[in-house]
Amino acid sequence: MSRVLIVDDDQGLVSLLQRFLQNEGFQVHAVFDHRSGLETALTGEYDVVILDVMLPGGSGFELLKSLRTQSRVPVILLTARGESVDRILGLEIGADDYVPKPFDPRELVARIRAVLRRSQEIHGDAGAEESLTVGDISLSLLSRTASCNGTPVELTGAEFNMLELLLRRAGMVVTREELAQAALGRPLSAFDRSVDVHVSRLRKKLGCVPGGEERIRPIRGIGYFYALSARVQV
């Protein structure tokens, strides 16, 4: 039974979500403020965290930023509908996905299952292939960790999935729709910048190859590709 942590001070909404998620087969625990949310999320006992932006004692963004210094647990952010700035900021800080309020609980369930399914698929394939190395970038598919030229690089689950797809198809264009499915487990909707934000974070974390070339390059209106020149061993 997958374990879900909800961090939201709207106790009416939390009660509704708890009943709905439990009926869908999830084990659910809820806390209602910033401090309790961070402490509970860091226990390592949960498979996914549902995090509201507005919390007593500190914002959900602050909680997420602190959480990402110590944990890669998948986080789905609850944002106000229409607040694209909140969604972009959440993704930049390290959220794996977002659901705007108000929302259909069935959509949240679908997002949770997509996050869990991606994790299970990765671990299910781990026995056949333990690592993936392209140039100076190395991914451990067992531990879902990454390194660049031997130095560890902290990635969220969505960033790891996206980088894995780009590396497997280095030198080939990967569409934004394919990256959305790999990173978020859902189709890309109109005006959705989630993929671009994740790619921007990846580019900052990985830096350029020696010589200053960009590793991940955009193809306007289509997607991105991991440059073949970046595959040269250093």
Could you tell me if 200 and 213 lie in one domain? yes
Could you tell me if 45 and 133 lie in one domain? no
Taking a C-beta distance cutoff of 8 angstroms, is the pair 202, 188 a contact?
A: no
The closest of 109, 111, 75 to 90, measured between CA atoms, is 75
Could you tell me if 63 and 146 lie in one domain? no
Could you tell me if 77 and 162 lie in one domain? no
Could you tell me if 32 and 84 lie in one domain? yes
Structure confidence at residue 81 (pLDDT): 66
Could you tell me if 28 and 132 lie in one domain? no
Q: Which one of 122, 157, 185 terminates a domain?
A: 122
Q: Which one of 73, 104, 122 terminates a domain?
A: 122
pTM (2 decimals)?
A: 0.69
Amino acid letter for position 169: R
Number of domains the chain contains:
2
Amino acid letter for position 141: L
| Strands of 48-52's sheet in order across | 27-31, 3-7, 48-52, 75-80, 97-101
Could you tell me if 110 and 12 lie in one domain? yes
For residue 223, the cross-strand partners are 175, 219
Structure confidence at residue 234 (pLDDT): 34
- The pLDDT profile of the chain, 234 residues, written as one tens digit per residue, is 899 999 999 999 999 999 999 999 999 999 999 999 999 999 999 999 999 999 999 999 999 999 998 888 899 999 886 678 888 888 888 898 899 988 999 999 999 998 887 766 555 544 445 789 988 899 998 778 899 989 999 998 889 989 999 999 998 999 999 998 888 777 887 788 889 999 999 999 998 776 678 899 999 989 999 986 654 443
Q: What is the span of the domain harbouring residue 9?
A: 3-122
Joined together, the tokens standing for residue 49 give: 């965290």
Structure confidence at residue 126 (pLDDT): 44
